[in-house]
Amino acid sequence: MKKVKDILNSRILTWVVLGVAAILSVAAIIVVLTHRAPRLATNYAKSDSQIITVQVADGDTLSKLLTEQGLTHADVDAIAKILKKDADITTLRAQSDKIEFVRDDENAPVSKFAIIPSPWRRVEVSRNDEGQWQCSAIDITPDTRAVYRTGEILDGDSFYLAGMRAGIPAGILADVYDLLAFEMDFERDVRAGQKFWVVYEENYSDNEKVDNGRVLAVSFDALRGNVRMYRFKKADGTSGYYDEDGNGAIKSLKRTPINNAKVTSSFSGRRKHPVLGYTRAHKGVDFRASTGTPIPAAGAGRVVARGYNNGHGNYIKLRHNGSYETLYAHMSRFAKGVTVGTTVRQGQTIGYVGSTGLSTGPHLHYEIIKNGKHVNPMTVKLPAISNLGSADKQKFLDYRKVLDGGIEKLAENPNLFIQM
Ligand SMILES: [Zn+2]
């Protein structure tokens, strides 16, 4: 069984320099293959064997899909047992898992099948000579390449539009937003002329692109200075994002909980209230978003209040640690299962945008309370979740130097990639 190679462990980056023709052919392959199902390694020998591929849909169970293919209840029971024991599979995931059923010929019973949870793993189940079901999991090692994309904010642009124009895939852009949201305010920090770049992984199998991997590094020339983050794997095996000096870039709280939401009202000591008409402090930041947009917890914590009042409408308050609390107001509804006392992860949906309470339209009103005092979410200095120990820090600085050298080369020729 091949093991998925962990690119962040390999500190030696090799450079792949391709000729112009080769670059064009790679580009052509990428364009064609992103619209095609990934090719899968199969070793079904018989030429007249029949293969049926089923995409697991909502409400599908293993038992339902297997009996539909003519397997008996005894087969299903035996298969469920070995899948749990040998592949740790107990349920199927709708819209994600696929199953390939194989028959020796059109009218034969199913002789084997494969559950395919991702392009990089397949779990093959077959009957042995004694008639017993057995299973084996195959992990496919991706050929991972780090690619570089750079862009610039134009007049009237959003970071999202500029990112799409730079050829950054939507999924990678969403990850970049998630990262930058710890340090940036996309409303106030984005101006025409600002440049950014992203280095991320593309996974290939047999020279065909299959999917995108993780963001390895990102840089954005924000108004308050350059924001740069690098992904790095520590000696203990956990990975995180760090700034140039090796300080943790993932903060205890996000400044902007909802990605890509426009700031419609900033924090201020005094402002004219849009509904009440008189001047009073705005203790938070308002983000415009449509009704029903999920509201993620800005940080890990515990729900300490969930209720309704005339000003906030439906609101939730989280306590993150001894010093920090956050508050989310005007929700249309709360997320299922989120009540006072619930522990939430950073990014977990706690409710949905609405316009309840004193509100002129759907938006999220977001507050950060530090040691009992309201602070400006956009400027408060936030603690990092994890910083590097001295050994890891030295390793990080060495790794960063190598990666920076690579990024410099890619900046000169964006058609190259780093073979990881
Ligand atoms: Zn507000």
**Ligand 1 centroid distance, CA of 285 (Å):** 6
Q: Which two tokens stand for residue 77?
A: 């029971």
CA 255 to ligand 1 center in whole angstroms: 14
- Which pLDDT belongs to residue 385? 84
Least confident of 26-35, 331-340, 353-362: 26-35
- pLDDT, mean over the chain: 85
Give the Å distance between the CA of 332 and the centre of ligand 1: 15
Residues across the chain? 420
CA distances from 121 to 101, 103, 127, 141 (A): 16, 21, 20, 9
Judge residue 242's burial from the number of C-beta atoms within 10 Å of its C-beta, 0-12 exposed, 13-18 middle, 19 or more buried: buried
**Per-residue pLDDT tens for 231-275?**
999 999 999 999 999 999 988 899 889 987 888 888 887 656 666
Is 329 or 104 the better-scoring residue by pLDDT? 329
Domains for the chain: give ranges and CATH numbers: 46-139 (3.10.450.350), 143-250+386-419 (3.10.450.350), 262-375 (2.70.70.10)
Q: How far is the CA of 367 from the centre of ligand 1 (A)?
A: 8
Percentage with pLDDT > 70 across the chain: 86
Beta bridge partner(s), residue 135 = 125
Q: 108-133: per-residue pLDDT in tens? A: 889 899 999 988 999 999 998 888 99
Across 32-46, 216-230, 329-343, 403-417, the highest mean pLDDT is recorded for 329-343
pLDDT of residue 97: 93
Q: Is the pLDDT of residue 286 over 50?
A: yes
pLDDT per residue over 173-188, tens digit each? Answer: 999 998 998 888 776 7
Is residue 346 classed exposed, middle or buried when 0-12, 13-18 and 19+ CB atoms within 10 A define those classes? buried
* Alpha carbon of 313 to ligand 1 centroid (Å): 11
CA of residue 419 to ligand 1 center, whole Å: 47
User: Nearest to residue 91, comparing CAs of 108, 115, 122?
Assistant: 115
Contact assessment for residue 110 and residue 165, using Cβ atoms and an 8 Å cutoff: no
Q: What is the mean pLDDT of residues 213-225?
A: 92
Q: Ligand 1 centroid to 359 CA: how many Å?
A: 8
Nearest to 387 by CA among 289, 257, 262, 246: 246
Q: Tokens 């990014």 map to which residue? A: 347
SS3 360: coil
CA angle 314, 318, 322 (to 5 degrees): 155
Question: Ligand 1 centroid vs 282 CA: distance in angstroms?
Answer: 6
Phi, psi of 100, deg, nearest 5: -105, 120
Neighbours of ion ligand 1 (CB under 5 A): 286, 365
- The pLDDT of residue 293 is 96
